Chain A
Amino acid sequence: MRRVAVAVAALAAALLIQLTIVNGLVLPGGGTPDLVLLCVIALALVGGRRGGLIAGFGAGLAIDLAPPASQLLGQYALVFCLVGYCCGRLRFTLRRSAALALAVAAMAAAVGEALAAGITLALDSPDVTWATVVQLLPSSVLYDVVLSPLVLFVVVRVALALGAGVGEPAGSPALELGGSAGPAGAAGEGAARRVGLAGAGRVGLAVCGSLRPAGDVAAAGAVGWLSGPAKSRQARRAQDRRIALLTGAAQRKGDVWVGSRPAGVRPADPVPAGRKTGPVRLNPGAGVAGSAAAVSRPAARVVPQRPVRLGLADQQRRSRRARSGGLIRSGADRSGAGRPDRDGHGVDRHGLFGSGVRRISFGSGNPVGAGRLSPGRLSPVRLGPGWLGPGRLSPGRLGPGRLGPGRLSPGRLGPGRLSPGRPGVPRISFAGGSELVGAGRVSRSRPGIPSIAFGGGSLRRAGRMSPGRPAAPRFRSESSSSVRNPAARSRPRKTARFGIGRSSVLHLPGLRRAGGRSTVWRIGSTRTKGYS
């Protein structure tokens, strides 16, 4: 709310300065800079496409209506809302590099001026001639380009001071103008500010990848040079931790975490193809599924027919949220529960993963097996039928890894596939299907590559999932037993859940669901017996 107010104030100030001072200037070339356009561009680069769209439309309409205006109503609104929207689309440039963002701003300014002149030429043709436009346009564009870094600098700085993460995960409604949801969910404003300030502190270093010796953290943005480099070792460490928070990137090569992204963690750049990284490292103590990676097991031979949903139980989510103090947001955003097309915070359908971060998606795949590792790239681990978005691997210090409840992403419907990966890379496949008799049947298809199979049960149980609750997916496995214990096949059906936390400490006795129709299975805990 405060950000919206500040954005409106900035636009109003730019408009008034433009009309009362700048337009009256007589500058060489005849043109004048357009502060409002520059302000719209900067706001769009910070606030995303919806923010840019609204800001552009509002500012344009204000220019059309502010008293000295005699042009057609809607002219500038049309131009500015287009410019704002397009700049919002190019928002990612702001956390890539300063030069890129400045180039985008300059280009957008030029395009905006040209568009405005073109519309004026088309609509006011008897008064405004081509010769006039040709004369005035270059100087106007030049002034805009010269001024755009300044305006961008000021707007970004103010936005950071207000706690707006410039690289906030796309899809978060928090940053958009008019958006009401706090970026940190339960923690709300405080966490948002914390994250934002962390962004201000760190991004700078990330601006130049060269400054960072461990190159696995992607460049985080253009803004941080404001704060300068860290001088002491402690400050550097703090910055490293912050950038891990900001970018969602792993601390070291191969460091990963499973689960949903903590609030404020920035999606890093898409992994460049062909980049080689080390094997997946999962945190054994965290109760992550990956802890089973040490046990070499072949992939499951599964022909699933129904998607298996995997997620956190509500109780676990709650306790998780309570524990994490809001900094780490648990998976499902309640407000977005009804919007399956929106990315959950645990899931990002695009470019979430930084270098060194594996993808895990849940799903039962085609007969080839769940989770195909695409060779040559970072090995995605997919759990489930692509029905859940990819989970996330985190460095351990961000919190224990977990299998996050992904928001449903219809675009990812379809079997997640694991291709034969590189040797040494563990595969985790969560398979569901009626044909899987018993729990996660294991066949050693390839020696040396461990995989974990979570057997899916019968379709009847899977069908019990209500499709109307996509935001709180839940993994239920009909199969009960461990892979090591064939005798467990005869056990009654159980539901496996993936816990968030490190151990059962998370489960306070009072919070345990009463009358549990299912048993909680936590991978890595002793209760899973065979899984740990």
Chain B
Amino acid sequence: MRDTRSSRLLLAAALITALALIAISYQNASAPLLRGIRNVAGSALGGAERAISPVTAPVARFLRSGVVAAGNGQVTALQRQLTTLRAQVGAAQLTKAEYRQLDQLLRTSGTGGYRVLAASVIAFGQGFQQTVTLNAGTAQGVRPEQTVLGPAGLAGRVIAATGQTCTVLLASDAGSVVGVRLEPSGQIGWVTGYGRTADHAGLLKLQILDPATVLTPGEQLVTAASMNDRPFVPGIPVGVIAAVLNRAGTLTAQALVRPYADFTALDVVGIVIGSAGHSPSFAVLPPPSKARR
């Protein structure tokens, strides 16, 4: 095909449309037009993701686990048989890993007195985004700016919700900011993610407002209270200080935090749709001896 006028016009139209969309969303990401488009398309595509998640979720889980019982065919076969039997019994389609995560999640939320809606991760963000989609939406009571709990600790917060799905911004995203308190002292600070980097893989960055604070590895963090429990309900374990960054000239005390939640292996999470009405303070934290360093 020659570079005909029509194809050039089409190219120009496509480029202008894309640039216009970028400009609009850059200026105001929650413009009504964009919100409408995102809602409609998000419902459709999220529905599709949700629909195929029974197929894709086991595949993704298998690929992400990395623990492939290679060479041990018997174990694999038995596991497969077990899964099949479980499905047949109809007890649950949950795998062992899911059971473990769910169990831990329920224990965590039970300790804190949170009302939690369990949901599964069905999709992952593209590019540099650290976002996931859950298979629960406004129909289940999910609203934006709700806290999402991983099995062992904070996972992130809901940033968008459609009818059947919601999008969670993980705490490891570079744009995520979580207000935290230090366990023994109650110092206020915040935790940001590093995004998808290999440098500080799986670590978060803690900054404490008081530059005079002396941070020591092993100190635990919980979420600080937010107004109306949004976006974060108080008392959710975030992580433990892994290394202290001593940088001259900074206004804050900084440290690297190893989060309790494994952001690369999130599967079953809980969306906190109601809290106990009082802050559990540090009660939800695991015992310090078990805290990973």
Contacts and interface: CB of A to CB of B under 8 A. Distances in A.
Contacts of B14: 53-54, 57, 77, 81
Give the secondary structure class of A's interface: helix
B63 A21 contact: yes
B153 interface: no
Contact of B173 (A17, A64, A73, A127): A127
A71 B174 contact: no
A70 B64 contact: no
Interface in A64-86: 64-78, 81-82, 85
Given A20-B52, A68-B124, A170 B169 contact: no
Contact of B26 (A72, A126, A172): A72
A69 B26 contact: no
Interface stretch (A22-30, A429-437, A520-528): A22-30
B24 interface: yes
B10 to A, nearest CB: 6
Contacts of A176: 1
Interface residues of B, number: 68
B151 interface: no
Interface stretch (B36-44, B222-230, B238-246, B253-261): B36-44
Contact of B195 (A74, A85, A127): A127
Given A18-B126, A67-B42, A74 B18 contact: yes
Contacts of B24: 73
B14 to A, nearest CB: 4
B18 A50 contact: no
Interface in B153-192: 159-160, 162, 165-167, 169, 173-175
A241 interface: no
Interface string B2-44: 1111110011001101111110111001000010011001100
Q: B6, B52, B63, B123: which has the most chain A beta carbons within 10 Å?
A: B123
A78 B15 contact: yes
Nearest to A136: B196
Interface string A15-53: 111111101111001100010000000000000111001
A443 B266 CA distance: 88
B126 A73 contact: no
B249 interface: no
Nearest to B61: A24
A120 B127 contact: yes
A172 B4 CA distance: 12
Contact of B56 (A12, A17, A34, A48): A17
Contacts of B127: 71, 76, 116-117, 120
Contacts of A514: none
Contact of A30 (B19, B159, B198): B198
Contacts of B175: 124, 126-127
A74 B33 CA distance: 13
A237 to B, nearest CB: 32
A493 to B, nearest CB: 37
A26 B126 contact: no
A57 B162 CA distance: 24
Contact of A68 (B18, B52, B129): B129
Contact of A81 (B5, B15, B37, B66): B15
B37 A73 contact: yes
Nearest to B40: A65
Interface residues of A, number: 68
A63 B45 CA distance: 10
Q: B11, B53, B57, B132: which has the most chain A beta carbons within 10 Å?
A: B11
A341 interface: yes
Contacts of A342: 2, 4
A131 interface: yes
B112 interface: no
Contacts of B201: 30
A349 B131 CA distance: 50
Nearest to B45: A66
A23 B126 contact: yes
A127 B5 CA distance: 40
Contacts of A64: 21
A23 B125 contact: yes
A212 interface: no
Nearest to B197: A132
Contacts of B162: 67
Contact of B20 (A18, A62, A74, A124): A74
16 contacts: A17-B56, A20-B124, A48-B1, A49-B3, A57-B14, A66-B41, A66-B45, A67-B167, A68-B123, A75-B18, A77-B18, A124-B175, A131-B199, A132-B174, A135-B198, A171-B1
Interface of A: 12, 15-21, 23-26, 29-30, 34, 48-50, 53-54, 57, 60-78, 81-82, 85, 88-89, 116-117, 120, 123-124, 126-129, 131-133, 135-136, 170-172, 176, 341-343, 349-350
**Which 5 pairs between the two chains have the least Cβ-Cβ distance?**
A74-B21, A23-B124, A65-B41, A78-B18, A20-B56
